[in-house]
Amino acid sequence: MPAARALLHPAAKPLLFLLALLPFAWLFYGALADRLGANPAEYLTRATGDWTLRFLCLTLAVTPLRVLAKLPALARFRRMLGLFTYFYVFLHFLTWAWFDQGFDFGEMGKDIAKRPFILVGFASFLLLTPLAATSFNRAVKAMGAKRWQALHRIVYVIPFTAILHFFWMRAGKNDFAEVAVYAVILGVLLGWRVSRRLAVSPKANPSVSR
């Protein structure tokens, strides 16, 4: 298949890497050229949050697309997309810590405790951190496959905390259109996994009641 051959091409991963860096390059250029509007700090914070959600959706979409389109080669891009999800959430956290809080850890702690949407967003960042730190082959060997897989199931919790963070952030302006779009996309991606697991489980274990 032409698509399968393209996905296995040696240039496929470098091309994806460059494409995934484009949002960062644009934001970096915009900051240097003063093209981020009247409030660059707010623009950067929101843009990095949006790109975190987009890459989370792309990461979770790899397995359904791989199965439904019968393209096993797609699996080789999942780790990179997951790491870019963490890259953008780290930038999102960094913009808040730098521009909003001036790296004042005392004030950061107070803000996390005081505002629920900050608390949930910070929880999402913390949940993604061990996944990024253990995304390499050495970590799999050191932890063992079962423990590694158990840890990485945290990724299925993150869509809920991420959407809740986004919802609470937009609640002040009563603007939920984008929240609904991301919620539907992530809901479909997680729902596909649940339905597939339910369909497979009775076959794997005949004693399980239907």
Contacts of 54 (CB under 8 A, 6+ apart): none
Structure tokens at 180: 């609904």
Instruction: Say what the pLDDT of residue 208 is.
Output: 38
Structure tokens at 95: 């913009």
End-to-end CA distance of the chain: 37
* Domain definitions of the chain by residue range: 2-204
Q: pLDDT tens-digit profile of 69-117?
A: 999 999 999 999 999 999 999 999 999 999 999 999 999 999 999 999 9
Least confident piece of the model among 5-9, 107-111, 193-197, 199-203: 199-203
**Mean pLDDT of the region 20-48:** 94
* CA–CA distance, 32 with 11 (Å, rounded to integer): 30
At residue 207 the predicted structure's pLDDT band, cuts being 50, 70 and 90, is very low
Instruction: Say what the pLDDT of residue 201 is.
Output: 64
- pTM reported for the whole predicted model: 0.91
At residue 198 the predicted structure's pLDDT band, cuts being 50, 70 and 90, is confident
Contacts of 66 (CB under 8 A, 6+ apart): 72, 74, 75
**Mean pLDDT of the region 179-190:** 96
Q: pLDDT tens-digit profile of 135-170?
A: 998 998 999 999 999 999 999 999 999 999 999 988
Residue 52 has pLDDT above 90, yes or no: yes
Q: CA separation (Å) from 162 to 2, 94, 145, 165?
A: 36, 17, 27, 5
Structure tokens at 208: 């399980």
* CA–CA distance, 23 with 20 (Å, rounded to integer): 7
H or E segment and range at residue 129: helix 116-133
Structure tokens at 40: 């660059």
Residue 109 C-beta-side C-alpha neighbours within 13 Å: 3
Instruction: Say what the pLDDT of residue 123 is.
Output: 96
More confident residue, 208 or 130: 130
Residue 204 has pLDDT above 60, yes or no: no
Instruction: Say what the pLDDT of residue 164 is.
Output: 96
* CA–CA distance, 59 with 154 (Å, rounded to integer): 14
